[in-house]
Structure 1
């Protein structure tokens, strides 16, 4: 079965990223052709190969990149030119970059703080702009009020740190909150044009497995996360969910 559209995921890792990509790409679920982006070329290639094996008939390709604007622009150009995606229109992009900065505030330097903001929040801004550019190239930018159609979705993965932070998490919380605000700005500005902007607060461990722990709600299964992202990605202008809080059943909140 030929893929129905194109999906782009940056921050493709072995847990949440694997589940999201697998569900989006699987012919029995999303049936999207999926472009995977991440920094480590070897790990990314291995993940793409593993996902093709676990989702027979899927189209999954890897594009190593970081979040620098010039590198993201090049990655999007490479995606557009790739033979696996010929004739496919972009429908969903997902920004799922991790930020693991944890240190006492008095040890935080200005340069380190701003580097985190540039890589994580600045990367989200550059990724969103590239996403919008390609969505409008593929679907036009006519407003819904003038007969325009749904173009697609841009989904940002966040954590509870985007809403409230803790000691030693100044850099982490600051950049997470910045991406949440960016997601809201994108949603408010582009929803009238048929672009669905969403922010997902993922709180709790995510495992790429289905076992007793996931069944008991001690952690989220990556496939369950993927099905939730697919549900978001396929919403139409009759209803756009902007922010969603996901967590395993036993996670405290």
Structure 2
């Protein structure tokens, strides 16, 4: 049975969880990876109840041993790996501690390196799809987001290097720029006033974002896309 790994899975109404559900519906056994066992178990339960196959794996994306162990569980049947792990680290450069800045890089970029390296090694010449979740921060610097911008920009460059390095090995590496707030549980629960101000039309549809990952996964190797960007019709860009 072909397998998928999705790293960075949180609540059911979140991008990571919905990616798991989508790829399980396509007949893959999904390794649902993240930091919180309860959230992972909830996603697995939804998949299993729908007739799919999945297992929860608690893993720290910045831990080499955790990442190696995660991919060991997938073995040589790995078909797609998605690095959806990230953080949001606002703040003025002058006020940042070195630890704060470094942690942003470790989660977004270093974790992406560990994840990407292990995925490529597990594909082992058989080909596969490796996708990274980006943001508008991947493309430009912005005041008060120096740590996040630099970390996401570094991840994008890493993904592009992997795409060029391993395309001839039939590894399709892609990067998805999510330009704007996602209409999921996090913003609605943690920033309800902001979510209400945006309205549904101002938040990106999770289903629409997942469609983008599915599109990249389904592309024939004579017509690969490295990067897509998704936003609402009202987003300024």
TM bracket (short chain): 0.7 to 0.9
**Residue in 2 that maps onto 1:130:** 118
Decide whether the 8 Å contact of 1:102 with 1:172 is kept in 2. yes
CA positional deviation for 1:231 = 1.3
Alignment of 1:172 with 2:145, yes or no, is no
d(CA) in 1 for partners of 2:23 and 2:210?
7
d(CA) in 1 for partners of 2:91 and 2:172?
35
Alignment of 1:8 with 2:5, yes or no, is yes
Q: Secondary structure at the match of 2:202?
A: coil
TM-score (norm 1): 0.81
CA positional deviation for 1:216 = 6.4
d(CA) in 2 for partners of 1:239 and 1:24?
21
Q: 1:113 to 1:208 in 2, by over 3 A?
A: closer
Cα deviations by residue, 1:41-68 (Å, 9 ceiling, x for unpaired) = 2221122223433xx1111211010111
Q: Secondary structure at the match of 2:225?
A: coil
Number of residue-to-residue matches in the alignment: 223
Q: 2:38 aligns with which of 36, 42, 50?
A: 42
The RMSD of aligned alpha carbons is: 2.1
d(CA) in 2 for partners of 1:17 and 1:118?
19
**Residue in 2 that maps onto 1:69:** 64
d(CA) in 1 for partners of 2:99 and 2:173?
30
CA positional deviation for 1:177 = 0.4
Q: Which has the higher helix share?
A: 2
**Residue in 2 that maps onto 1:142:** none
Decide whether the 8 Å contact of 1:20 with 1:222 is kept in 2. no
**Residue in 2 that maps onto 1:247:** 231
Q: 1:228 aligns with which of 212, 219, 222?
A: 212
Q: Secondary structure at the match of 2:124?
A: helix
CA positional deviation for 1:34 = 1.0
CA positional deviation for 1:241 = 0.4
d(CA) in 1 for partners of 2:180 and 2:54?
27
d(CA) in 2 for partners of 1:106 and 1:36?
38
TM-score (norm 2): 0.87
Q: Secondary structure at the match of 2:56?
A: strand
CA positional deviation for 1:244 = 0.6
Decide whether the 8 Å contact of 1:20 with 1:226 is kept in 2. yes
